[in-house]
Amino acid sequence: MHLADASVFVSCVMSLAVFDIGKCVKNEMVIEPVNDRTSATISRPKPFKCSIKPRSPRAIALIQSSDEHL
């Protein structure tokens, strides 16, 4: 359980370190995400649009270099 928790944490941190995640912009208008959830035994957010972009040229290089190690 502790290893799984630490693995998920490290994966999230590595993604957040190289990507900027924000609201989606379409035709110069910001699309506000709706806080809508599923109605099942385990509730989770429904899919929504967002913008995911590399933080910098250095982040792009880091992302591309990680592909070589797979």
- Residue 67: its pLDDT value, please? 64
CA distances from 63 to 20, 36, 55, 60 (A): 13, 32, 11, 5
Rounded-to-integer distance, Cα 20 and Cα 5, Å: 23
The three-point CA angle 25-22-61 to 5° equals 105
Please give the residue range of the domain that contains residue 59: 2-67
- Residue 50 in contact with residue 24, Cβ under 8 Å? yes
- Residue 40: its pLDDT value, please? 84
Rounded-to-integer distance, Cα 52 and Cα 23, Å: 9
Q: What is the pLDDT of residues 1-41, one digit of tens each?
A: 999 999 999 999 999 999 999 999 999 999 998 888 988 88
How many domains, in total, are found in the chain?
Answer: 1
